[in-house]
Chain A
Amino acid sequence: MARFLAVSNRKGGVGKSTIAVMLAHAAAAWSRQRVLVIDLDTQCNASLMLVGGLGWERAGRAGRTIADYFFDRFDKVAEDESAYVLKDVGDVAHARGAPGRLCLLPGSQRLEDLQGELLLRHSKKDLDADAIAVQVRGRMKRLIRHFGMDFDVVILDCPPGLSFAALAALDLADHVIVPFRPDFVSQFALDRVALLIERVETAEQLAGIAFSERRYSCLANYLSGTGHERLLIDQLALDHPLLAARIPRLESIARAFDWEETRQTMEQKYADAAPYLRALHDELLGVPQLRAASA
């Protein structure tokens, strides 16, 4: 069974999709894992990074997106979910015959509308709104879990908002990576997403959970090496588990996601960001849940 790794933060612009795609490439190329990216964000950035605009549009026309999957299979017994998955995506070359591969369940701008449709569909039944919401989330979670049979790692790229799909993903995830920019507003976002992930309501309750027991770790992203960043990271480290790996603000990362038809090695694609990505990859594969998956 795959391990489910969510990349989430309620704040936008912290690099969630970038980190999700970088990790997916790294797991497929460096540890030869079978990796699936599920794009739950209606911005669909992870999909665009992995198959380009045309590939994403084709997937939408063919009915092969996360919204189609939820809509088609919501009330049915899930079968042959692989029909929705685009295989061998991304622009990173793997060694010939290497088992590592990267697949994508593309995102859809219709996912938010679909959530409303599913709610309405179930509101006919004799249930209150909260119960319906729990039911829809629970079904989405089970539908996502079906992909666990065919992959070693499933990376869930979550949207910034709290859609049902995002909540289902957070509930399902074995571990959640929370990228953040070390600025004033980010600390509030981290505090809030931590409560959500750990299913507690107050900071005091959160403080009662040892770092080693938490389901999430925070990743400092877009670092430029200022004293302000150092200050804030030290403050955040009092309340949240932080990954030792950190990602600097690098032009090579921004450039890495210009869609390329030609395949490159990891080192070509990520250039001077490759060592930072390697550190992140190595550290995350050291997370017990993920290590178990790769054993």
Chain B
Amino acid sequence: MVNDRGQLYTIEGIAASMIMLFTTFLVLNATTVYTPGDSHISDMQLEQIGTDSLRMMNMQENGSAGTNPLIAGTSPLQDMVDNLPVVNGAIAPAPDAFDPTNAFNVTFTNYVDNKTGSETDNLHYTASVTYYDIANKTTGSLLLSANRNLSGVEHPVRVTEWVIAYRPVPGDVTLTEPRVVLVEVLLWRD
């Protein structure tokens, strides 16, 4: 009565189970789960804040210059770039009480750290001005301001703003002005 005619079914059943379980294990082990905390989102937010702040600094505060465009009125960022002393190269405007490095530090950190409510943010940056050196046919950069030195482990975002500077830059032999420079800021969060 009991014979081994159906034993093949059992063996086949067990074999099929083993195959399915093994495949499932393989598949589920290999699937990557997408987590929403990737760094692109925080980079995007930082870049937004940085470009907004530089752009607001490059706007004239009011129209009091009258109807004579551009020459009469300069933006705060233009003032800072115009008054930046240069160590080598072209002669800079005589430094007066206006300290462009400190002015940039105060204004920029105020813009990027300000939030609604009483809390403030805490971002770090390094700002420089890139110019084109006509004599040496190369670009160069001057340090504008920084509130933290880069040590290499940070993950910064670069934001830029074009500025028309009413001053000569290194390489200007005949002291011609104005020139177009690029203000570059590396912005990061601890």
The answer on A and B forming one complex is no
Interface residues of B (CB under 8 A from A): none
Interface residues of A (CB under 8 A from B): none
